[in-house]
Amino acid sequence: MPVVEFLTDDEAATYGRYGEVPSRADLEQVFFLDDEDRELVERRRGDHMKFGFSLQLVTVRWVGTFLEDPLEVPTAVLDFVAEQLGIADPSCVKKYTERTKTRFDHQWEIRRVYGLKEFGTVEGDLRAWVEARSWTTGDGPKAIFLDAVRWLRERDVLLPGVTTLARLVTNVRDETTRRLWGVLEGLLTVGQRYVLDQLLEVPPGSRVSDLERWRKGPVPRGSGPTLIKALKQVAEVAGLGMTELGADRLVPPRRLAELAKYGMSADASQIRRHRDGRRLATLLATVAFLEAKSVDDTLELLDLLMTTELLNKAQTAADKEKIRKHPKLAKASARLAVAVEALFDSDAWGGEDEEPRVSEVWEAIEAVVSRAELRAALVLVNENVLPADADEPDDWRSELVGRYSTVSGF
């Protein structure tokens, strides 16, 4: 069995063959011989001919092709088919392979009766399908290979050899990828190619290349200097004008994202070693991604700055103001509490039918706190305490106006 690069040895070995033993449900669904099958089987002479023909029929349904040795099937399949044919001794099928021509004659008849197609009749259509799939998604060869098998099975096409199908998938996918690189490279002028290649070089006085510096981005810290650095990076990346080339209109977004993902992770030296097509396509996609990313990062930094320098500090200032006012407010509240307590005590004066006079109540209150002190305390409480039915206080909002200059420039 030839080795296919993107398949494991086990995957390549089980292609077009029995892998795991079919379950009982699979046997009853796929390996069952219906009336049409039985009519075709009964045209054979001898149990071994009927048995061998039936095995080839159910095998091509299950694996998608005929086996070089039609008897190389699991014991469970042998027993299930023999039971349907009423054959007591399944070992009789060994006589089926004594005449090689019989096996091929039966395969030809099964192809004709059940409308099975040869791979060559649909190879062009499959190649076009693989090309469209590869161009649109950029999926790996293994995923496309497995879906190509399903594509063939759904159209009643006999599977080709594993190397034939793998070679088709690999070649078409490579051609599509090279076309992708060519489309992106073709958008660039000579000057733009030079500018992109310079992103991989370390400028004088710097420790890293511009590409590495942009990929790393500014430190996520809510401060003015950090935001200024982020805005400068946005200007640098956008200044190259790579998004204006319209690559996203010519190449599927998923393919651009695939190139950008590689460009964001690979070492500059590794990217530099690629040929022009792949190198420039990777840099173009990466710069386009970095332009969008740098804008997003800057907006996040602005949000962080708004939170730390504006909202949080406004809230802190409001809280400090409350703490500053708290001693006076507490003292005023205590005076009012003393007066209210004296008022409640007046309920116990006199008998049940005799209510205390207002002058007497005031006399009792003024014994502990003067009217002037009560009036001043009431004014202070009314100024600093919201009514019971009012919304939650938002004193911190008034502090925003004074701190707006912190972020207005950005």
pLDDT mean by block of 10 residues, the chain; 410 residues: 74 91 94 95 94 97 95 95 94 93 96 96 97 94 96 96 95 96 96 95 90 85 78 92 92 94 94 96 96 88 69 55 63 78 72 70 81 80 65 54 59
Same domain membership, residue 258 and residue 198:
yes
Last residue of a domain, one of 266, 284, 306: 306
Same domain membership, residue 293 and residue 314:
no
Last residue of a domain, one of 169, 185, 201: 185
Same domain membership, residue 383 and residue 326:
yes
> Is 103 part of a structural domain of the chain?
yes
Supply the pLDDT for residue 30: 94
> Is 2 part of a structural domain of the chain?
no
- The candidate with the shortest Cα–Cα distance to 50, out of 23, 90, 17, is 90
What letter would DSSP give residue 356? P
pTM above 0.75, yes or no: no
Tally of structural domains, the chain: 4
Same domain membership, residue 254 and residue 198:
yes
Same domain membership, residue 301 and residue 210:
yes
Phi-psi region of 36 (alpha: psi -120 to 50; beta: other; left: phi over 0): alpha
Supply the pLDDT for residue 2: 44
Same domain membership, residue 124 and residue 77:
no
What residues pair up with 117 in beta bridges, in sequence order? Answer: 157
- The candidate with the shortest Cα–Cα distance to 242, out of 283, 284, 273, is 284
> Is 251 part of a structural domain of the chain?
yes
- The candidate with the shortest Cα–Cα distance to 291, out of 239, 246, 219, is 239
Supply the pLDDT for residue 307: 67
Same domain membership, residue 313 and residue 300:
no
Same domain membership, residue 210 and residue 295:
yes
> Is 354 part of a structural domain of the chain?
yes
Same domain membership, residue 244 and residue 292:
yes
Same domain membership, residue 157 and residue 96:
no
Same domain membership, residue 147 and residue 83:
no
Instruction: For residue 379, give every residue at least 6 positions away whose Cβ sits within 8 Å of its Cβ, in sequence order, or none.
Output: none
Same domain membership, residue 293 and residue 218:
yes
Last residue of a domain, one of 283, 306, 329: 306
> Is 3 part of a structural domain of the chain?
no
> Is 4 part of a structural domain of the chain?
no
> Is 112 part of a structural domain of the chain?
yes
> Is 142 part of a structural domain of the chain?
yes
CA-CA distance, 129 to 146, in Å (whole number)? 13
Range of the domain at 368: 309-408
Instruction: For residue 180, give every residue at least 6 positions away whose Cβ sits within 8 Å of its Cβ, in sequence order, or none.
Output: 135, 251, 255, 281
Supply the pLDDT for residue 310: 58
